Structure 1
Amino acid sequence: MSEYYLKKEKKMSRYFKSLIFWVIVGLILGIVVGAMPPIKIEALGIENLAIWSKVFIDMFIKALKLLIGPIIFVMIILGIVGLGDIKKIGGIGVKAVIYFEVVSTLALIVGIFMARIMQPGVGMNLDINALDASSVDKYVKASQGSESSFWGVLKGAIPQDLVSPFTDGKTLQVLFIALFTAFIVITLKEQDREYIKKALEVFQSFVFKILTLIMYFSPLATFGAMAYLISKFGLSSLVNMGYLLFVMLAACCVFIFGVLGIICYVAKVNIFKFIRFIAKELLIVFTTSSSESALLPLMKKLEKAGIDKSCVGLVLPTGYSFNLDCTNIYLAMAVIFLAQAFNIDISLWQEITILLILMVTSKGAVGVTGSGFIVLAGTLSSLGDNLIPVATITVLLGVDKFMSEMRACGNLCGNSVACLIVAIWNKQIDMEKFRYALDHPNDFKIQD
């Protein structure tokens, strides 16, 4: 009996230590507080706890926005520098980049298409002014003189200095600086390049540590988001949020079993067998919400299954910066969802502009919890508040953690298929051995 209770206690302890457990707790409490009559706390000068709780969202988003610039800057540089000497990597690097761009664009199209067809935000009729009445003037002023057209956005991508893009969260300007810096670094001698790469990796670990600490406050932010949303817009808004999760899941399945399935079919590989082959890594990713958590075991497994080590070593790590397919789906879908929820008309040309902008900004959406949300904020900043104000993303915070699970698992599938296709394309795979691995996945277990 004592052993039974000990195991039960350990299981409960794991639940209490899980971030998603506390996110669910925050979600439920937020719904309850938002649905209740106004809770007044006179000692703190709070007239309505549900409305006041918006302060948690504001603080959380401000903290995340501080990391937009550094995360995108360091990941873009490391992604490009990680390719090494372009002359040495030859065809494999070029083929990988071509594949990443084509498939990432298809993912964006799937996101926009599914959001347009299934319309998860239609009928919510949310009011931008209700999000933060005091900030309306700020959005109006910000929109004056700004251009949301594609050429207008491109013109604004060139920074006037090297500091304001990071302090003001100007994502495209950060990308411009990162691309220019990466080009300079990649032309340096190999020894100097390695010094800079190591320094950037240290800085990357530092930034990710800050991001991890901030994410510990996501349950509190989730509570504030749901309490404020329900209090302002009623319980009916929950139906749309649940439907959004369903549409996101449907879009990921369409991409994985549709787009990736067709690609694998052309390569004469069964997508269902391939998903079964990487099932353990998918489970790791699902529990951590980070597609990078399974990077090392996935690399070992693909190498053991017959894919050349040089191909695995180049394509998979680079894919974590340039080929996050389901994060692309999320970004495209979230933009259309917010436009629908707040009754913002988006023309076909503006949708094309959004697609082109996302093709660039999505390259900073690294496989770490919360980074997709950060890049979404940066993307909306790039489009200009006169199109879709950044403040609108507050309505997504309550369900973002659950969408993060889908993004992470989908990204792992996308990068695994990318490694396979590039290996086949570059003739760096033992297909007989690989097919055997798919048919006998238990024979290719990797020791932890």
Structure 2
Amino acid sequence: MDRKLTLYILIGMILGVIVGQVMHLTMDAAVVKDQVAPWLKLLSDIFLNLIKMLVAPLVLSTIVVGIAHMGDSAALGRIGVRALLWFITASLISIGLGLVMVNLFQPGVGAPIPDAAEAAAAVGEVKELKATEFILSIFPKNAFEALATNNILQILVFSIFAGVALSAIGKRGEALVKGADSLAEMMLQITGYVMRYAPIAVFGALANVVAASGLDILGTYLELLLEFYFSLVLLWIILLTIGAVFLGRRITTLVRYIRQPLLIAFSTASSEAALPKLFEQLDRFGVPRRISGFMLPLGYSFNLDGSMMYMSFATIFIAQAYGIDLSIGAQIMIMLTLMISSKGIAAVPRASLVVITGTLAMFGLPVEGVAIILAIDQFLDMGRTATNVVGNAVATSVITKWEGMLEVEEPEFVEHPHAPSHTAAGGKAGLELDSENFSKD
């Protein structure tokens, strides 16, 4: 089923581009916008809504069970410290590489500058991102509100407290732990059902974008697209090479296992859409759920490598378009600013554009310049979203190997098992996992 699903998703992508371009060339733009686009968008929105339905209970149950069975609170702290060290390093690499490549290629020189008034209207009102507000937003005031709004960071905080508390109360919490374990398995079963609809959603998403903008717009921004995607490829090579240092030859196996989440993320431009399938594929790769359940939600808040590269690339691109020459010192300050302000952006709509706009304003650069990239932001978003999936898959696998917990992968073609070989607690011993492995350095 897995290989067929990958093929069907690819077919959906190709058909979406073809059908979208045919509609763009043969139908009036107003008709496409008012009568066709809403139906195409509906196809992808149904899929995204179904995925969002899964995310909160899957993350909650996975983390709670994983931490409850960890037994050693020091292990949780050690994994968290190692994860943050990886995230900070990956962030610096991503943002730094973006700055190097945009200075090397100079894609903004000669770029078309939009009318200031139209640009301001297109960008819309952007709320300033303040560090204090972000820090406060991490801590939920209502656990049910966090679940209802799919606030991953707040769900993560609540789940950590719940998992530690269940571990502390021992046998009295066993019923809740078993219930959470069953909930995680149920969510994965539902994920399998939802994924059967993915090719149709991919078709609708791409057909909608291409029907509205056409492929001609890619020619206008061809230089920016090619240079940005080349930079993303370099980032992939760097991340996978670092991953290979820890994983050895299994890095190629990891790439094969995550191809479906990659295609979903690329075609829908939604990291959230790929999350449930990424959980399942990392299960098969041999990552215990108690580690992936902690790492992936944390990574989607702090380790968006593709988005961070895009923000540094786009910020300097806009400065180049307006003929503003930034010193090395100013660019280093921009890098550090993006390093801080990019954390937790997954919960903000059009998050990358919001952070870019805030950074432009902070350094006295033309905020309306964001409108230059709005026309092809969807196409750029596809690449950076897929890169986010790669970055988090590598990070999770490396931390698992670092902890000495990486298991032998399952055959790729096997459906996700219902047996407890990879339960939400993770590991091949099911719920009876000893905590000694978590003491390994």
Asked if 2 retains the 8 angstrom alpha-carbon contact of 1:361 and 1:379, the reply is yes
Q: 2:401 aligns with which of 420, 425, 428?
A: 420
Q: Deviations over 1:358-379 (max 9, x none)?
A: 44456xxxxxxxxxxxx67474
Q: Deviations over 1:268-319 (max 9, x none)?
A: xxx6xx44235344323225535444334422xx8xxxxxxxxx56435543
Q: CA deviation at 1:118?
A: 1.3
1:305 matched residue in structure 2? none
Structure 1 residues 91 and 82 mapped into 2: Cα distance closer, same or farther (>3 Å)? same
Structure 1 residues 63 and 277 mapped into 2: Cα distance closer, same or farther (>3 Å)? closer
When structure 1 is superposed on structure 2, of 205-214 and 326-335 the one drifting more is 205-214
1:92 matched residue in structure 2? 75
Q: CA deviation at 1:99?
A: 1.1
Asked if 2 retains the 8 angstrom alpha-carbon contact of 1:78 and 1:197, the reply is yes
Q: Is 1:255 equivalent to 2:255 in the alignment? A: no
Asked if 2 retains the 8 angstrom alpha-carbon contact of 1:69 and 1:165, the reply is no
Q: Is 1:102 equivalent to 2:92 in the alignment? A: no
Where does the alignment leave 5 or more consecutive residues of structure 1 unmatched? 1-12, 265-270, 303-311, 363-374
2:98 matched residue in structure 1? 115
Asked if 1 retains the 8 angstrom alpha-carbon contact of 2:41 and 2:208, the reply is no
Q: Is 1:180 equivalent to 2:167 in the alignment? A: no
Give distance in 1, aligned partners of 2:157 and 2:354: 17
Q: CA deviation at 1:74?
A: 3.7
Q: CA deviation at 1:98?
A: 1.3
Q: CA deviation at 1:122?
A: 3.3
Q: Is 1:225 equivalent to 2:218 in the alignment? A: no
Q: CA deviation at 1:237?
A: 1.5
Asked if 1 retains the 8 angstrom alpha-carbon contact of 2:19 and 2:207, the reply is yes
Q: CA deviation at 1:16?
A: 9.9
Q: CA deviation at 1:25?
A: 3.5
Where does the alignment leave 5 or more consecutive residues of structure 2 unmatched? 167-172, 263-276, 325-329, 360-366, 415-441
Structure 1 residues 25 and 215 mapped into 2: Cα distance closer, same or farther (>3 Å)? closer
> What TM-score comes out, normalization by structure 1 length?
0.61
Q: Is 1:356 equivalent to 2:340 in the alignment? A: yes
Q: CA deviation at 1:21?
A: 2.7
Asked if 1 retains the 8 angstrom alpha-carbon contact of 2:13 and 2:206, the reply is yes
Q: CA deviation at 1:78?
A: 3.6
Q: Is 1:23 equivalent to 2:10 in the alignment? A: no
Asked if 2 retains the 8 angstrom alpha-carbon contact of 1:112 and 1:333, the reply is yes
When structure 1 is superposed on structure 2, of 76-85 and 119-128 the one drifting more is 119-128
Give distance in 2, aligned partners of 1:252 and 1:129: 36
The equivalences for 1:340-351 within 5 A come to: none
Q: 1:239 aligns with which of 220, 223, 230?
A: 223
- Residue 284 of structure 1 aligns to which amino acid in structure 2? Y
Give distance in 1, aligned partners of 2:122 and 2:384: 32
Give distance in 2, aligned partners of 1:50 and 1:24: 21
Q: Deviations over 1:343-372 (max 9, x none)?
A: 69998667545433544456xxxxxxxxxx
Asked if 2 retains the 8 angstrom alpha-carbon contact of 1:69 and 1:170, the reply is yes
SS of the residue corresponding to residue 129 of structure 2 reads coil
Give distance in 2, aligned partners of 1:63 and 1:360: 25
Q: CA deviation at 1:255?
A: 2.5
Give distance in 1, aligned partners of 2:398 and 2:183: 31
2:175 matched residue in structure 1? 191
Q: CA deviation at 1:251?
A: 0.8
SS of the residue corresponding to residue 235 of structure 1 reads helix
Give distance in 1, aligned partners of 2:279 and 2:342: 21
> What TM-score comes out, normalization by structure 2 length?
0.62
Q: Deviations over 1:298-343 (max 9, x none)?
A: 22xx8xxxxxxxxx56435543433579962112123344545666
- Residue 154 of structure 2 aligns to which amino acid in structure 1? F
Give distance in 1, aligned partners of 2:356 and 2:141: 18
Give distance in 1, aligned partners of 2:189 and 2:113: 39
Q: Is 1:283 equivalent to 2:256 in the alignment? A: yes
Q: CA deviation at 1:26?
A: 2.6
SS of the residue corresponding to residue 66 of structure 2 reads coil
Q: CA deviation at 1:186?
A: 3.8
Asked if 1 retains the 8 angstrom alpha-carbon contact of 2:66 and 2:293, the reply is no
When structure 1 is superposed on structure 2, of 120-129 and 237-246 the one drifting more is 120-129
Give distance in 2, aligned partners of 1:384 and 1:402: 17
SS of the residue corresponding to residue 122 of structure 1 reads coil
Asked if 2 retains the 8 angstrom alpha-carbon contact of 1:316 and 1:415, the reply is yes
Q: CA deviation at 1:102?
A: 0.9
Q: Deviations over 1:115-149 (max 9, x none)?
A: 2221287355575999xx79938933xx4xx4323
Asked if 2 retains the 8 angstrom alpha-carbon contact of 1:84 and 1:186, the reply is yes
Asked if 2 retains the 8 angstrom alpha-carbon contact of 1:51 and 1:228, the reply is no
Asked if 2 retains the 8 angstrom alpha-carbon contact of 1:221 and 1:397, the reply is no
Q: Deviations over 1:387-436 (max 9, x none)?
A: 7999977734446556666554554443332222222xxxx89xxxx9xx
1:9 matched residue in structure 2? none
